[in-house]
Structure 1
Amino acid sequence: MARFTARAHGYGLVDWSPAEVDAYASRLLRDHVPSRRWMPHRSSSCRECGESWPCPAATWAGQWSDGMPRTEPHSRL
């Protein structure tokens, strides 16, 4: 699969294939979860990084994943 430039959370600009970015986003979504049952308007933190929920990693991964499915590579800067 062709490589392209994308912005990946924690890495900045990367030249990865769409499948590699998708796999990275999936790992972030799997690992970065609320430390307790998340409820709107209640304070919670990420179990993985300890930042306020939703943490930047989960936010980025969710935004990336919302763009799926893709039929051809495109740049997300």
Structure 2
Amino acid sequence: MVDAKMIHTENLKKVEDRVTQGLIEELSLEDRINEEVRVILDAYQDDMRRSGASYMEMFKKVKIELARKYKAVL
């Protein structure tokens, strides 16, 4: 972006570090959401078994809701 003159900075290293950190946080968001989905579904696994709900379908539905809640694009 600096080469394309889209941004100007006096401290390129600091900008690179902040962009890298932002990307890492964004990429780890899906992992955190997946873990939260697992915790939620574990709490309801008996009910899901009784009703015949598919774990994978419920996982997708809960994940979509959490992504919406956190305003995440997955």
TM-score range, shorter chain: 0.3 to 0.5
Which one has the bigger helix percentage? 2
- Which has the greater radius of gyration? 2
- TM-score, normalised to structure 2, is 0.33
Greater RCO (CA < 8 Å, at least 6 residues apart): 1
Which one has the bigger strand percentage? 1
